[in-house]
Amino acid sequence: MTTIIGIAGNQIIQSVDIFNGNHVSYTPQAFVTAIQKAGGLPIVLPIGEEEHAAAYVSQIDKLLLAGGQDISPDYFGEEPHPKLEETNRNRDIFELALIKEAIKQSKPIFAVCRGMQLLNVALGGTLYQDLSLYPEWKVQHGQEPTQPQFATHGIQIEKDSALYDLLGETYRVNSYHHQAINTLASSLKITAKSTDGIVEAIESADKSQNILGVQWHPELRFDVDTKEFTLFDYFVNQL
């Protein structure tokens, strides 16, 4: 039976010159393509009311949390830092509800970039609102203008992890983030770090919950690096 993957969607408002500022629900095509290639059936879950999260999650087998805006800092007890970038509270509220329901319904979660950070916040962790607040910051974690198909920095992967089985002890990744995990949620474990100590991957410390989170963007490299595709194959067919 085909595995149904619910991808938490995002919103964009088109310019007033295009359909008078039309609101669009979307997810990056690369997520859709990678899931299809792995044999899954992707369905985009549009941002909605939090009370509808349980119904959405009941219709899927697994949940994917994509990248995007910064996370509203009041969800981890902070006021907005001057370097905080765009947030979308409606998205935060809905995705937090999706995470809660996915855990309640024992549905596996694959979280990418913002998704990994939000998952940590949902479970009680905190974030650095900007990498300038991290005292050991030494690696470029926002690689623009270098194109995303190119890996730009290394990570070290813990041996006792699913990620180690997929990627090995060391790996190189692309990087597009200015926020990062600060305090880790107690129900999670760190499975990879960059050479300057930034959290690059997490998994559940509880064997009863299947969670994989990565800080980089495998959806932007899976067609040029087969190891990146193994993450989607693992998510769809094993996690």
Measure the CA–CA gap between 116 and 109, rounded to whole angstroms.
10
Is the distance from CB of 173 to CB of 113 less than 8 angstroms? no
- Yes or no: say if 4 and 61 are a contact pair by the CB < 8 Å rule: yes
What positions carry a catalytic annotation? Answer: 113, 217, 219
3-state DSSP of the chain: CCCEEEEECEEEECCCCCCCCCEEEECCHHHHHHHHHCCCEEEEECCCCHHHHHHHHHCCCEEEECCCCECCHHHHCCCCCCCCCCECHHHHHHHHHHHHHHHHCCCCEEEECHHHHHHHHHCCCCEECCHHHCCCCCCCCECCCCCCCCCCEEEEECCCCHHHHHHCCEEEECCECCCEECCCCCCEEEEEEECCCCEEEEEECCCCCCEEEECCCHHHCCCCCHHHHHHHHHHHHCC
Structure tokens at 78: 């902070």
CB atoms within 10 A of CB 129: 23
